[in-house]
Chain A
Amino acid sequence: MNGEMTDATPVRLLIVDDEASLREPLAEYLVRQGFAVDQAGSAAEAREVLRDGSPDLVLLDIMMPGEDGLSLCRHLVESRHLPTIFLTARGEATDRIVGLEIGADDYVVKPFEPRELVARIRSVLRRANRSPAEDEEEQFSFEGWTLDPLKRRLTDPEGAVVAISSAEFRLLMAFLEHPRQVLDRDRLLEMVQGREAHLFDRAVDNQVSRLRRKIEADSRNPQLIQTVWGGGYMLAAEVRRRPTSGA
Chain B
Amino acid sequence: MSAAAPTPRRTLQLLWPRSLRGQVLLAIALALFLAQGLGALLLYRAQHERIEGTLVHGAAFRLVVAAKGEPDDNAPSFAARMAGRPRLPGGRLEVTDASPLRPGEQREPEEESELRQILAEQEVPVADLVVFHRPISQDPRALARYRRVNRDSGTPPDLVLIAGLRQPNSPQWLVTRVFIPPAERLMLQSLFGQTLFIYAVLVGAMWLLLRRITRPLAALTTRLEHFARTRDADGQIAPEGPDDIARLIEAHNAMEWRISSLLDEKDVMLGAIGHDLKTPLAALRVRIESVEDAIERQRMAGTIEDITRTLDDILSLARVGRPTDAMEMTELSALVASVVEEFEDMGEPVELGDTTRIALSLRPTWIRRALRNLIGNALRYGKVARVSMERQGDTAIIRIADDGPGIPEGKIALMLEPFTRGEPSRNSETGGAGLGLTLARAIAEQHGGQLELANRIGPEGAVCGLEARLRLPRT
CB of A92 closer than 8 Å to a CB of B: yes
Measured between beta carbons, the chain B residues less than 8 angstroms from A242 are none
- Taking CB atoms, residues of chain A closer than 8 Å to B324 are 92, 94
Name the A residues within 8 Å of B286 (CB-CB). 22, 25-26, 29, 114
B376 interface residue per 8 A CB criterion: no
CB < 8 Å neighbour of A89 from B274, B345, B365: B274
Contact pick for B329, options A91, A113, A159, A163, CB 8 Å: A159
CA distance A26 to B329 in the complex (A): 39
Give Cα A17–Cα B333 distance, bound, in whole angstroms: 39
Q: A214: which of B308, B329, B334 is its contact (CB, 8 Å)?
A: B334
In the assembly, what is the distance between CA of A158 and CA of B474, in Å? Answer: 15
Contact B334 A111 (CB under 8 A): no
Q: Which residue in chain A gives the minimum CB-CB distance to B345?
A: A199
Q: CB of B210 within 8 A of chain A? A: no
Convert A200-235 into 0s and 1s, putting 1 for each residue whose CB lies closer than 8 angstroms to a CB of B: 000000000010011001000000000000000000
A90 partner residues in chain B, CB cutoff 8 A: 271, 274-275
Q: Which residues of B contact A87 (CB under 8 A)?
A: 282
Residues of A within 8 A of B271 (CB): 63, 90
Task: Give bound CA distance, A158 to B159, whole Å.
Answer: 87
Interface of B is mostly: helix
Chain B, 274-303, CB within 8 A of any chain A CB: 274-275, 278-287, 289-290, 301
Instruction: Report Cα–Cα, A245/B274, bound state, in Å.
Output: 34
Q: A111 touching B275 by the CB < 8 A rule?
A: no
Cross-chain contact A161 with B279 (CB below 8 angstroms): no
Q: Name the interface size band of chain B.
A: 35 or more
A13 to B19, CA, bound (A): 70
Query: Which B residues touch A160, using CB under 8 A?
Result: 329-331, 359-360
- Stretch with Cβ within 8 A of A (4 or more), from B34-42, B146-154, B335-343: B335-343
In the complex, the answer to whether A164 meets B338 with C-beta atoms within 8 Å is yes
Is A133 interfacial (CB 8 A cutoff)? no
Q: Give CA–CA (A21, B283) in the complex, Å.
A: 6
**Interface bits A20-49 vs B (CB < 8 Å: 1, else 0):** 011001101100000000000000000000
Contacts of B304 in A (CB 8 A): 111
CB pair A161 B330 closer than 8 Å: yes
0/1 string, A90-114, CB within 8 A of B gives 1:
1111100000000000000011111
B274 lies within 8 A of A162 (CB): no
Q: Assess whether A156 is interfacial by the CB under 8 Å rule.
A: yes
The answer to the question of A177 belonging to the interface, with a C-beta cut-off of 8 Å to chain B, is no
Minimum distance in angstroms from A132 CB to a CB of chain B: 30
Contact across chains for A93 and B282 when beta carbons are under 8 A apart: no
Task: Evaluate whether A91 and B312 lie within 8 angstroms (CB atoms) in the complex, with A110-B281, A161-B328, A163-B331 already known.
Answer: yes
Q: Which residues of A contact B275 (CB under 8 A)?
A: 63, 89-90
The interface residues of chain A lying within 8 Å CB-to-CB of B284 are 111
CB atoms of A214 and B279 under 8 A apart:
no
Among residues of A, the one whose C-beta sits closest to the C-beta of B336 is A163
Contact of A19 among B283, B325, B359, B363 (CB under 8 A): B283
Are A114 and B364 CB-contacts (below 8 A) given A90-B274, A90-B275, A163-B330?
no
C-beta contact mask, A160-195 vs B, less than 8 Å → 1, else 0? 111111001000000000000000000000000000
Instruction: Give the docked Cα–Cα distance between A89 and B301 (Å).
Output: 18
- Provide the residues of chain B in CB contact with A114, threshold 8 Å: 285-286, 289
For the complex, count residues of A whose C-beta is within 8 A of B. Answer: 36
- Given A110-B279, A111-B281, A214-B337, do A92 and B331 touch, yes or no (CB 8 Å)? no
Q: Which one of A26, A29, A89, A156 has the greatest number of beta carbons of chain B within 10 Å?
A: A89
Contact of B334 among A22, A63, A164 (CB under 8 A): A164
A156–B285 contact, CB under 8 A? no
Question: Which B residue's beta carbon lies closest to that of A117?
Answer: B286
Does A165 contact B341, Cβ atoms closer than 8 Å? yes
The CA of A227 and the CA of B330, in the complex, are separated in Å by: 28
Closest to B339 in A: A163
In the bound complex, residues from chain B placing their C-beta under 8 Å from that of A25 are 283, 286-287
- Chain A's nearest CB lies how many Å from the CB of B11? 48
CB distance from B470 to the nearest CB of A (A): 16
Which residue in chain B gives the minimum CB-CB distance to A213? B337
Which residues from chain A contact B281 at a C-beta distance below 8 Å?
Answer: 110-111
Question: Distance (Å) between the CB of A48 and the closest chain B CB?
Answer: 23
Interchain nearest-CB distance for B157 vs A (Å): 87
Contacting residues, chain A, for B289 (C-beta < 8 A): 29, 114
A113 touches B331 (CB 8 A): no
Provide 25 A-B residue pairs closer than 8 Å at the C-beta atoms, listed in order of the A residue: A17-B279, A22-B279, A22-B282, A25-B287, A26-B283, A26-B286, A87-B282, A89-B278, A91-B365, A92-B325, A92-B365, A111-B278, A111-B308, A113-B285, A156-B331, A160-B329, A161-B328, A162-B330, A163-B334, A163-B335, A165-B338, A165-B341, A210-B337, A210-B341, A213-B337
Which residue numbers of B lie inside 8 Å of A, CB to CB?
A: 271, 274-275, 278-287, 289-290, 301, 304, 308, 312, 324-325, 328-331, 333-335, 337-338, 341-342, 345, 357, 359-360, 363-365, 368
Enumerate the 8 nearest inter-chain pairs by beta-carbon distance, A residue then B residue, closest first. A160-B359, A111-B282, A110-B282, A22-B283, A214-B334, A111-B281, A89-B278, A89-B275
| A22-B282, A112-B282, A163-B334 given; 4 more Cβ-contact pairs under 8 Å | A21-B280, A89-B274, A110-B278, A160-B359
